[in-house]
Amino acid sequence: MARDTSQSEGGASDESESESGSADTTAETETADETGEAADASERAEAALESRVSNVLLVTIDSLRADAIGPYDETRSSPVLDSLADAGTVFDRSFANGNWTPFSFPSILASEPVFARNGNIGVAESRTLASVLSEAGIATGGFNAANGFLTSHWGYPEGFDEFEPFVTSVGSSRYSRYLAAHPTVEAWIQLATSPIRRLGSKLRGESDDRPFLDASRMFDVEDAATGFIDDTDEPFFLWVHYMDTHTPYVPAPRYIREVSDGLVGTHRMLHAHTRTSLGWEVGDRTLSDLRTLYQATVRQVDASVGRLLDQLDAAGIADETAIVVAGDHGEEFQEHGHLAHYPKLYDELIHVPLIVNVPGADGGRVSEHVGLDAIPPTIADLLGVDAPDDWRGESLAPALGGDADPDQDPVVSVTVRGEEVTDQPIPRSMADGDLLVSVRDAEWTYIENADDGSTELYHRPSDPTQQADLSDDPTDEELAVIERFAPIAATHVAELRDRESDRVAAGDSDDEVDEDLEARLEALGYR
């Protein structure tokens, strides 16, 4: 059921005064009736959803842009996610609240903007989703594939009965740490061992659907999540975070063959990694190879999600478990001059998938814009738990039942940029560079550098890759958009500046990061 939230402007204006007065009275009555009906529909939808759901599985996939999976681009290979989307609700315009994991996850797991609590990244002082659900008696498990920004250092285990970030296991041996930091070597190992391992798999009657090395920690996350499902009898909330689609892209060879119709082999992975690791120019062929590798990692995660769904089915709880799938941010392939995810706020980094599958509830496709800060209140609604008043997002539960489109404020996203776009490490406070803020609705993107005052405006339907900045000489319509969005950006900036001032006045600063955590961050490219 596709829904279009756009409305035509204008209307009849040649009615007589008496007719107009009568129409106004009727319109007010109809508006009141419609408002009441919408509220009733929302309550009915939420009650119906709550009665079906005992558990929620939240799957977040690092660096997953929207057009990387089948529900958003039918040319992509993601059969498991396609199936979830077909029977669930797809949010066509879902946007991350930041371009990096530490800038996005406060919204995903605490329904608040980054920096809004204490001027730092993380959720150390926040009312997290896991905390709220745990207090309500729901079992909670969280398993993160070694993303160093989702660890105890920044408060992420709070509220989880079981939590494992698998960061220590990455740095626990010189061998594993070396492989994680040297994807080209890992690619060579994949290539050299591929024929032998494929033969061994066939002789043992096994498939080769898993990579031969687990530097992405996919096995660890999958096994831990499976164990949590097996061992938990009461209603649960389970969060898993995959890193396979984050650079470096080192998928199992079978997935490279699958997404390239068997024409591109592992040697193309070596070619791409060699050129990028040596800093050589990325031409069309290398860029194409990197896209192929990226899509292969998407397919690899898709298969892993499928195995988790199989486990829910084997445990007899698939029909009472809601599945939420989201990317934490996207990935750039030179749309604006770079690879990976540097400090920018264009759609390749901010437009992410959001799919919610509730057994028996087909919400179809929702075209209204939503932010990822809607995830915590939505999951709380699904599990019948009241959301805290300080959560910023609005629940999407009514849209999941197909009864109502979400009524969302424009989505605000932020990043911090140093003197050079490619500066590392990732900023950990606003003092690390200029604060950039974007404001989005279903059609428009407004971007402002809060430090130098520069602005950008893009009309996405006519300019989907945001190449034509309309802010320099705006039309009346474009100026109206700027005048509507600029105060939203200013209010957000003022709030974050206040938190930064409080942090500085209190003399707070980041603690030293331990050796294993620094090793993992460096392996991800965050020096």
List, for residues 379-397, the tens digit of each pLDDT value: 999 999 999 999 999 999 9
Greatest C-alpha distance within the chain: 86
Statement: the pTM of the whole predicted model exceeds 0.95? no
Alpha-carbon torsion, ordered 20, 22, 28, 30, to 10 deg: -110
Could you tell me the two tokens for 332?
A: 């750039």
pLDDT band of residue 217 (cuts 50, 70, 90) is confident
Backbone angles phi, psi at 89, to 5 degrees: -125, 130
Rounded CA-CA distance 292/272 in Å is 10
* pLDDT tops 90 at residue 503: no
pLDDT band of residue 176 (cuts 50, 70, 90) is low
Higher pLDDT, 404 or 448: 448
Taking only the tens place, the pLDDT of each residue in 4-34 is 333 333 333 333 333 344 444 444 444 444 4
pLDDT recorded at residue 350: 96
Query: What average pLDDT score do residues 467-476 get?
Result: 95
Residues 6+ apart with CB under 8 A from 223: none
Fold of 49-408: Alkaline Phosphatase, subunit A (3.40.720)
Q: For all residues of the chain together, what is the average pLDDT?
A: 80
Backbone angles phi, psi at 4, to 5 degrees: -110, 115
Angle between helices 183-203 and 174-181 (to 10 degrees): 110
Could you give the percent of the chain with pLDDT greater than 70?
A: 70
Query: What average pLDDT score do residues 139-160 get?
Result: 91
What's the first-to-final CA gap in the chain, in angstroms?
Answer: 46
pLDDT recorded at residue 38: 46
Could you tell me the two tokens for 467?
A: 């190449």
pLDDT recorded at residue 331: 93
Query: What average pLDDT score do residues 150-175 get?
Result: 78
Element (H or E) spanning 89, and its range?
strand 89-95
Q: Would you kindly state where each structural domain of the chain is located, as residue ranges?
A: 49-408
Taking only the tens place, the pLDDT of each residue in 272-321 is 666 666 556 677 777 788 888 899 999 999 999 999 999 999 999 999 99
pLDDT recorded at residue 37: 44
* pLDDT tops 90 at residue 258: no
**Choice among 420-424, 430-434, 516-520 with the minimum mean pLDDT:** 516-520
pLDDT band of residue 250 (cuts 50, 70, 90) is confident
Higher pLDDT, 502 or 484: 484
- Reported as half-sphere exposure (CB side, CA atoms, 13 A), residue 315 has a value of 23
Rounded CA-CA distance 223/463 in Å is 43
pLDDT recorded at residue 138: 97
pLDDT recorded at residue 484: 96
Higher pLDDT, 481 or 203: 481
* pLDDT tops 70 at residue 51: no
Query: What average pLDDT score do residues 472-486 get?
Result: 96
* pLDDT tops 90 at residue 52: no
**Choice among 115-129, 271-285, 360-374, 446-460 with the minimum mean pLDDT:** 271-285
- Give the C-alpha distances (Å, rounded to integers) separating 145 from 80, 193, 224: 20, 24, 11
Higher pLDDT, 222 or 342: 222
Rounded CA-CA distance 101/525 in Å is 13
Query: What average pLDDT score do residues 409-435 get?
Result: 78
pLDDT recorded at residue 44: 42
